[in-house]
Structure 1
């Protein structure tokens, strides 16, 4: 078996919150065969398995008494194209932002609003990542997975993935399926989404009157870089809370007390609120408790100034949740996956 299984490996460099917990066993896999061998080894040893991608949407709260499998499958393949669109298969270990930039360079659009989101392609379907009015599901065609219950590979359609807001079957049945690759169908003629956030105004300020998909990508990158800290400079897991969805009646009541409330009407009649706005209004922006804090430029982001534990970050999050509920009667849900001690058999 051509596997290098390491022992007692710090995961600080493998999660963007830079929480320093350790993995009892650790292995990087670069192929389906290596993945299958790693799963077989874990089963033989009677240890649990924890699958790790880019580590960008993760809060680790304790050492993992498990085999951490670091997914490193690489490759981008153009499967087919015609005058209107292209079908592309991307391996799970590819960097998400790098793939978005590659697709734009090839003349394929659709993912420009999702530029600069940290993490890997394989992790993207788990959360159904989204930004600036676009979600992954809008251009995903299918996902190739290894089903750990059957030991067989299986291709799931977008419908079978059961995508919802920051949710999917992969998140609800965590650990059952290992994502191997994702197939996207991307248009060649861009249909730009500019009415979410500050995209349109930013482009106008830059005097970009007829934007292309690449212009939108550059705008998204600039806006994100201005508001969101680079995990390489200040450890964070991106947006820490989901934007809450409430009833129209509740939203109207809040509007009466807070006329500047940032909200977005949904197709089903409900209203989505900007969680960052709520947190900022409550005075949490820039608050620091030890090495855990709320980012000074974006209240939606919790950061690790160096030595915060996952527990300390979650304690800060819980205080914010309680305060927002008391002030606005709105429940905030944590967006990253929270992982504690893993010690159950694989």
Structure 2
């Protein structure tokens, strides 16, 4: 286990922001995580946990010990005629895990194909797409308490999953390091093809009775057509959450914009943030090395050499525009550092 000094984080964040970590180390096991937690205390520096770097915006150098989680492995811990329990290392690529499940014909995560990041980060923000969220296939996770160095299991109720939320982003923020996640997957999966884009893609391919692989392939096609590849254009995917507003506010918006899309839920009506941003004129806007993506206004981009603070400032201007025009506050999905 090697602790390096003054390491550029450029290769470790999908926004492609060039900031340094004062100290940097890779953890490939639970034991190494424990050792690095202890080491950060001895060095008297904060500890920052890094997964795939796909949900962060670096605005400054990190005066911390940055621990990159690279715990790997898939372990089948239970199996019957209905499904399986599979334990996955927190450092595994989320998309590679999805492909592994499809290869095994285990259903439940196919709608979440091509989401960037690691398995360990997936329950932290209850990742979701196309009608499915992590909480629907989540059994439990293992995490290390940063104060006591003890391993604890968290089951679904304890995680307090919400829309892109969990207890690890709120009450227990920066108190635990997730090392493994256990998923319950089905051998007879229910196919979720309700979303219009998925239905349309399947129709274009002439598929009437889709398999989980068909759903995954459709989602991959859709995401690639809508979202820029971070390997070519720096981004963190969806920058803002889709806001849920009271019915009264939605009706006010609809009176002026009859075509506003809205999806009723228990708390009101969810409006796509991309629609709100496009209506305020930000789609495709470019400011030097940064901007708003030309096809998907929910994605802020770094064309190369951009600064995190400039992207943060752009996001604040977008929030202000949407609030002034629609009386709807937008919340970032990306974490500012």
The reply to whether TM is greater than 0.5 is yes
Deviation of 1:302 (Å): 0.4
Q: Which runs of 4+ in 1 moved over 6 A?
A: none
| Distance across 1 between alignment mates of 2:127 and 2:147 | 26
* Match status 1:233 vs 2:232: yes
Which residue of structure 2 lines up, in the alignment, with residue 196 of structure 1? 195
Q: 1:293-304 maps to which residues of 2 (within 5 A)?
A: 293-304=291-302
Q: Is contact 2:242-2:270 (8 Å) kept?
A: yes
SS in 1 for 2:194: coil
Match of 1:140 among 114, 138, 141: 138
List alignment gaps of at least 5 residues for structure 1: 340-346
| Distance across 2 between alignment mates of 1:219 and 1:165 | 24
Deviation of 1:186 (Å): 0.7
After superposition, what is the alpha-carbon deviation per residue over 1:250-283, rounded to whole angstroms, capped at 9, x for unaligned?
11221221121111111x2511110011111221
TM-score norm. by structure 1 comes to 0.95
Which residue of structure 1 lines up, in the alignment, with residue 248 of structure 2? 249
Q: Is contact 1:190-1:212 (8 Å) kept?
A: no
Q: Is contact 1:279-1:320 (8 Å) kept?
A: yes
Sort the Cα spacing of 1:144 and 1:137 in 2 relative to 1 into closer, same or farther, 3 A: same
Which residue of structure 2 lines up, in the alignment, with residue 157 of structure 1? 155
Which residue of structure 1 lines up, in the alignment, with residue 88 of structure 2? 90
Q: Is contact 1:11-1:21 (8 Å) kept?
A: yes
| Distance across 1 between alignment mates of 2:112 and 2:334 | 17
Q: Is contact 2:244-2:267 (8 Å) kept?
A: no
Deviation of 1:150 (Å): 2.2
| Distance across 2 between alignment mates of 1:289 and 1:63 | 23
SS in 1 for 2:16: coil
Which residue of structure 2 lines up, in the alignment, with residue 114 of structure 1? 112
SS in 2 for 1:125: coil
Sort the Cα spacing of 1:209 and 1:234 in 2 relative to 1 into closer, same or farther, 3 A: same
Which residue of structure 2 lines up, in the alignment, with residue 8 of structure 1? 6
After superposition, what is the alpha-carbon deviation per residue over 1:118-171, rounded to whole angstroms, capped at 9, x for unaligned?
000001111111111111111100010001122200000011011110011111
Sort the Cα spacing of 1:269 and 1:29 in 2 relative to 1 into closer, same or farther, 3 A: closer
TM-score norm. by structure 2 comes to 0.98
| Distance across 2 between alignment mates of 1:291 and 1:34 | 38
* Match status 1:182 vs 2:181: yes
Deviation of 1:197 (Å): 4.7
Query: Whose relative contact order is higher, 1 or 2, with alpha carbons under 8 Å and at least 6 apart?
Result: 1
After superposition, what is the alpha-carbon deviation per residue over 1:152-205, rounded to whole angstroms, capped at 9, x for unaligned?
000000110111100111111321100010000011112122223511112112
Which residue of structure 1 lines up, in the alignment, with residue 309 of structure 2? 311
Q: Is contact 1:94-1:120 (8 Å) kept?
A: yes
Which residue of structure 1 lines up, in the alignment, with residue 215 of structure 2? 216
Which residue of structure 1 lines up, in the alignment, with residue 31 of structure 2? 33
Sort the Cα spacing of 1:301 and 1:141 in 2 relative to 1 into closer, same or farther, 3 A: same
| Distance across 2 between alignment mates of 1:298 and 1:44 | 45
Which residue of structure 1 lines up, in the alignment, with residue 60 of structure 2? 62
| Distance across 1 between alignment mates of 2:204 and 2:255 | 32
After superposition, what is the alpha-carbon deviation per residue over 1:30-54, rounded to whole angstroms, capped at 9, x for unaligned?
1111111111111111111101000
SS in 2 for 1:238: coil
After superposition, what is the alpha-carbon deviation per residue over 1:279-318, rounded to whole angstroms, capped at 9, x for unaligned?
1122111101111111111000000011111110010001
